[in-house]
Amino acid sequence: MASSMAMTRSVRGLLGSMDTVCRMELDSLTEGQGPAPLHGGNSVELRRPIEGLGHAELSAWLDARGLPAYRGDQIRRWLFQKHATAFESMTDVPRELRQALARSFVIGSLAVQQRSRSDDGTVKYLLRLRDGNVVETVYIPEADRVTLCVSTQAGCGLGCAFCATARMGLKRNLTRAEIVDQVLEVQRQCPEERRISNLVLMGMGEPLANYDATRGALETITDAASGMAISPRKITVSTVGLLPQMRRLMEETRVNLAISLHSVRDDVRSELMPVNRKYPVAQLLECCRSLPVPRRKRITFEYLLLRGVNDLAADAAELAKRLRGIRCKVNLIPFNPHEGSGFDRPPEDVIERFGETLRARGIQTHVRRPRGEDIQAACGQLYHAAASEDGAGRARVEAAIEQRGVADSQATQ
């Protein structure tokens, strides 16, 4: 108990000056109103990335030019299934339409700045956006699947004490195109036999605080006819617990839901996750009980094990008690260390005992082992100090995207 209290004081210290900012951002983010602008004031205005258009918007663009709607499906298949990087390569699209597309749009909203490969095969991509901000995306190959961990915001404003991304603060929400392009960019670099089969929206940022862009990206990713055709059953969206958006997600999509829980004690969870002050544990769990989860699905509760904070046998027993009546499973995540966190990973025997306590009480439990830990790509480790101040980096991305468009325009003339 003494070590738990000491760690709680440590958590308060870590939150420190972030607390006021977190409270302000919680008020706006939990209503889906991102406080940060889409593009920095110094960024060059470019043609819009076409990947950000939904079915209806692309159809409207075609209709305004007197073109049939089926051309939209042709274009989307080139983008999302054949991974085209130039309009000129869309050989079954009329030349005049290719020219019009090249004048109005570009293909791509980000560029790979750095790739880091782990000893276990995990690859972390540092992706630079058009305004110079950066996000990280993680490719995780396993024997029976290949999972991509996708970011939905540049940074994060929710201030979770254990998460490296929180140190960045929130730079801005990602656009629909930027979320989709993470998948496309990595997919283009994958060998055919190791293509992405599963997605987890667990990278930088809170997906449900950027709800519209996240949902729009999911529409493109799950569209079997002319999108990426990744099944909703193989997609998981993780949230800190934004209740209104959780309900919308379950009503409007068929993806899986994961909730970052980490404690069922309000005093502990509020120190670890400021969002708990807005949506306490009881309110969160009551919402989970009322969600329209299909019969064959379960809500996943993510529980980060922090030594001396939430890893006692009593914590496990209380967790099992509070989850009773919710069709769920628990992913136990031993803490992945990162600089300045102030937390430690529990010993292996403590991790195993915690899991056994949950299983003995009828809770389906899995211990998630770290992947990419040696390249700071494991859960909670995503962080990059570089941001939009890097004018040279910004210029490189803008030039690369513009050059692609110029080449396209010249080729279609």
Residues annotated as catalytic are 136, 379
**What is the secondary structure of 298-359 as a DSSP string?**
-EEEEEEE-TTTS-SHHHHHHHHHHHTTS-EEEEEEE----TT----PPPHHHHHHHHHHHH
Question: Any idea what DSSP says for residue 38?
Answer: S
| Residue in 321, 316, 322, 286 with CA at minimum distance from that of residue 303 | 316
| Token pair of 377 as six digits | 């790509």
Three-class secondary structure of residue 115 per DSSP: strand
CB 222 within 8 A of CB 231: yes
Distance of CA 84 to the CA centre of its chain: 24
| 127 phi/psi in degrees, rounded to 5 | -115, 130
| Residue in 179, 143, 241, 147 with CA at minimum distance from that of residue 51 | 179
| 117 phi/psi in degrees, rounded to 5 | -110, 130
Three-class secondary structure of residue 77 per DSSP: helix
| Residue in 150, 170, 160 with CA at minimum distance from that of residue 28 | 170
Please list the residues that pair with 92 across neighbouring strands.
none
> Residue 295: CB partners within 8 Å, gap ≥ 6?
none
Question: Any idea what DSSP says for residue 31?
Answer: T
CB 235 within 8 A of CB 256: yes
